[in-house]
Amino acid sequence: DAEITQSPRHKITETGRQVTLACHQTWNHNNMFWYRQDLGHGLRLIHYSYGVHDTNKGEVSDGYSVSRSNTEDLPLTLESAASSQTSVYFCASSEPGYEQYFGPGTRLTVT
Amino acid sequence: GNSVTQMEGPVTLSEEAFLTINCTYTATGYPSLFWYVQYPGEGLQLLLKATKADDKGSNKGFEATYRKETTSFHLEKGSVQVSDSAVYFCALLLSGGYQKVTFGIGTKLQVIP
């Protein structure tokens, strides 16, 4: 069965370190998205991609970057982790015009 | 711009009670509408959807009807179970080139035995 996976599921890192969260989907979807989920804020879009080599900023993109070198993967990089980036991160994918499918999430703690 | 409004909750119900979670939206075009469910420690799962006015989406005993005249997509279930305890998100997607989903803030449902 097709799926979307994220790794690691849990990560603890120190302030200032670079961190990369992986997202891999086997749906062969063109669209991929990264969200963060925080209490009181719901889901907020960080970055998104409509295809290979395409990336776009979402509403909370500062301090984050993505690159899309193939259809299956959209890694999210925190250039210099800050305590404000402690959150749960979700990756999602979709075909244009259709619902999104979500990964299980990565819980990131920045100390 | 586009937006989705739903109460944050928590909504607390006894088992077998009737559930309604209200969702209203603002959109510049004709969106598809979704309800997602998030169980503790998991990602969001699509619960149901409707793609045009008067469509009814249904799944696992949950239903929602796309009401264009009231710009609403309320989620209902006739008899909730403890296992329905989760966070429920209403969402919209506009057709065409704008492919990002707009989510509501999520409503936490607690069902007590």
Mean pLDDT of B78-100: 88
Mean pLDDT score of chain B, rounded to an integer?
Answer: 93
Residue A106 in this model has a pLDDT that exceeds 70: yes
Do A53 and A73 contact (CB within 8 A), yes or no?
no
Give pLDDT, residue B71.
96
Contact B89 A103 (CB under 8 A): no
pLDDT bin (cut points 50, 70, 90) of residue B96 is: low
Q: Which amino acid is at A67?
A: S
Do B28 and B17 contact (CB within 8 A), yes or no?
no
Mean pLDDT of B76-101: 89
Give pLDDT, residue A97.
84
- Put simply, the chain A residues between 44 and 73 with a CB less than 8 A from any chain B CB are 45, 48, 50, 58
Mean pLDDT score of chain A, rounded to an integer?
Answer: 96
Give pLDDT, residue B99.
72
CA distance A59 to A35: 10
Distance from CA of A92 to the nearest CA of B (A): 9
From the list B46, B100, B104, the residue facing A48 with the nearest CB is B100
Ranges A94-108, B74-88, B91-105: which has the least confidence: B91-105
CA distance B48 to B45: 9
Mean pLDDT of B53-68: 97
Q: Transcribe A32-77 into DSSP letters.
A: EEEEEEETTTEEEEEEEEEETTEEEE-TT-TTEEE--SSSSB--EE
| pLDDT tens-digit map of A31-53 | 999 999 998 888 999 999 999 99
Residues from chain A that touch B36, judged by Cβ atoms under 8 A, are: 102
Residue B91: closest CA among A94, A24, A20, A17: A94
pLDDT bin (cut points 50, 70, 90) of residue B26 is: very high
